[in-house]
């Protein structure tokens, strides 16, 4: 007696239905359709369909299936995968679409619309893109270097962070101050008090608030000794900057220092050669060094500002502008007690590599 006598007859209709609709066993190796390259270089499927017609009759790329039956996962040749990834690396407006970012479902729809593939699921697109960390639905802000002397100006700042000026090391009577201003800090009083975190629940902040005014925070950071100086004013300007300079330079060891380098950006109160001469007139041992245009990230005091933003200003809930000023200055005092010099690792070589990439992209865009 044969082992397979319990199976229905191969000639019966029930047998064909069962064989075509039943799920495949995971123990059996999947049958993959043979792929061959046509004379024009395109990929086509050599195996004929069940009704005797060749599957290459469709103009678009077909869905390649593992095994027999529509329930199996699709198998696509590398050319299709590359084409879909290239589609994901285009901006929607380049394709005439009225939105700014793709989802994986929209990429799948565009792939079918452009004839890259007959049909494809958004999950498959997501799986392909995730392998190369392609996320067309995500954006990150950045600033293109516009200053023609970017490398030269930035190099001076990097040298100061390394304790060098004009190729010579700084001595113990030289100091480096990084200064900037944080403008328009609003005092927002929440209509309902902030609720503290609870087990299995985040802290909660009421969305609506009352405006209690705004102020500007002027700060200076001693790069080598991790000391913070700051004051609050109603607005920024030359006089506010002068007040900050007086606050620092009136104290020792800066008052009797050989040189005090002030690293500033190109704000309205600190830009141009006139600002350099003005600072020199205030204090003869003060030397102002400008960062390149749109390069605040080179200024170390911005790191301190980011700490202030996280620890004091977010979430923003102050009863008055006086309360806001009190909290800022109190945090400044507390932070200085635990502060350490920032470990600046970005060098001239790193900057040169970035500028080279930017130059190459400009040439490609042209």
Neighbours of 38 (CB within 10 A): 10
Helix pair angle (104-113, 78-88), 10° resolution:
120
Residues 6 or more apart whose Cβ sits within 8 Å of residue 210: 188, 189, 191
Which has the closest alpha carbon to 278: 230, 218, 237, 217? 237
Can you tell me the distance from the alpha carbon of 253 to that of 152, in angstroms, rounded to the nearest whole number? 30
pTM, two decimal places: 0.70
Helix or strand or coil: residue 222?
A: strand
Which residue is associated with the tokens 């003869």?
284
Structure tokens belonging to residue 80: 């299709």
Q: Where are the domains of the chain?
A: 29-131, 150-354
- Compute the chain's Rg from CA coordinates: 33
Note whether 129 and 104 are within 8 A (CB). yes
CATH code for the domain defined by 150-354: 3.30.420.10
In tens digits, what is the pLDDT along the chain, a chain of 366 residues?
Answer: 444 444 444 455 444 444 544 444 444 444 444 444 444 444 444 443 444 444 444 444 444 444 334 444 558 999 999 999 999 999 999 999 999 999 999 999 999 999 999 999 999 999 999 999 999 999 988 777 788 888 889 999 999 999 999 999 999 999 999 999 999 999 999 999 989 999 999 999 999 999 999 999 999 999 999 999 999 999 888 999 999 999 999 999 999 999 999 999 887 666 778 899 999 999 999 999 999 988 888 999 999 999 999 999 999 999 999 999 999 999 999 999 999 999 998 888 888 888 888 888 777 776
Neighbours of 61 (CB within 10 A): 24
């Amino acid at each position: 007696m044969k082992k397979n006598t319990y199976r229905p007859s191969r000639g019966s209709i029930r047998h064909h239905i069962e064989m075509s609709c039943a799920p495949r066993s995971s123990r059996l190796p999947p049958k993959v359709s043979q792929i061959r390259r046509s004379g024009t270089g395109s990929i086509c499927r050599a195996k004929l369909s069940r009704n005797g017609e060749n599957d290459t009759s469709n103009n678009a790329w077909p869905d390649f299936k593992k095994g027999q039956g529509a329930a199996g996962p699709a198998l696509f040749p590398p050319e299709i995968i590359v084409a879909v990834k290239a589609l994901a690396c285009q901006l929607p407006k380049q394709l005439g679409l009225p939105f700014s970012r793709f989802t994986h479902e929209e990429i799948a729809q565009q792939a079918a619309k452009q004839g890259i593939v007959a049909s494809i699921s958004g999950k498959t697109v997501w799986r392909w893109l995730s392998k190369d960390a392609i996320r067309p639905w995500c954006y990150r802000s950045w600033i293109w270097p516009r200053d023609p002397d970017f490398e030269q100006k930035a190099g001076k700042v990097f040298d100061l962070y390394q304790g060098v000026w004009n190729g010579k090391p700084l001595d113990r009577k030289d100091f480096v101050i990084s200064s900037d201003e944080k403008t328009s800090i609003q005092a927002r009083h929440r209509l309902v008090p902030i609720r503290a975190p609870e087990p299995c629940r985040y802290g909660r902040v009421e969305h609506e608030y009352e405006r209690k005014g705004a102020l500007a925070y002027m700060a200076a950071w001693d790069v080598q000794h991790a000391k913070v100086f700051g004051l609050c004013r109603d607005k920024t300007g030359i006089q506010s900057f002068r007040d900050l300079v007086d606050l620092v330079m009136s104290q020792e060891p800066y008052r009797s220092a050989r040189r005090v380098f002030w690293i500033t950006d190109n704000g309205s109160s600190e830009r141009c050669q006139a600002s350099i001469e003005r600072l020199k007139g205030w204090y003869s041992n003060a030397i102002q060094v400008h960062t390149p245009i749109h390069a605040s990230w080179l200024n170390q005091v911005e790191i301190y500002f980011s700490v202030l933003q996280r620890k004091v200003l977010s979430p923003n809930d102050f009863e008055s502008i006086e309360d806001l000023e009190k909290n800022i200055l109190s945090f400044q005092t507390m932070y200085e007690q635990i502060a350490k010099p920032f470990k600046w690792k970005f060098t001239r070589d790193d900057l040169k590599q970035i500028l080279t990439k930017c130059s190459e992209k400009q040439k490609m865009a042209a």
